[in-house]
Amino acid sequence: MEVHLSPDLQAKLAQLASQQGRDSEALVVEAVQRMVNYDEWFIREVEKGIAAADRGEFAVLGAPCVLGGDCPSASAHPPPKYSS
């Protein structure tokens, strides 16, 4: 696979790699891994939300629960942690 970056983005990437003592390619791979992991997590969470809505379970962030049952806080389902 080949990815074309603008000269400005290439320069920024090279500077970051230099500052971190790492290879530019390694930084790109890590960034893509993070993006893919996040997108997978986001899609799963949206699908969970749609399924909950289909069951009639609705929640409004910051609003009290009015449908009965437990209402977990937003911190109950934090985004995933990324590993390199």
Is the distance from CB of 36 to CB of 84 less than 8 angstroms?
A: no
Could you report the per-residue pLDDT of 2-14, keeping only the tens digit for each? 999 999 999 999 9
- Is 0.75 topped by the overall pTM? no
84 vs 29: CA distance, rounded Å: 9
Residues 15-56 have pLDDT tens digits of 999 999 999 999 999 999 999 999 999 999 999 989 988 888
For CA atoms 67, 48, 34, 82, the dihedral sign is positive
Query: Could you give the CA distance from residue 49 to residue 58 in angstroms, rounded to a whole number?
Result: 9
Alpha helices in the chain (DSSP H): 7-20, 24-54
Position 83 pLDDT exceeds 90: no
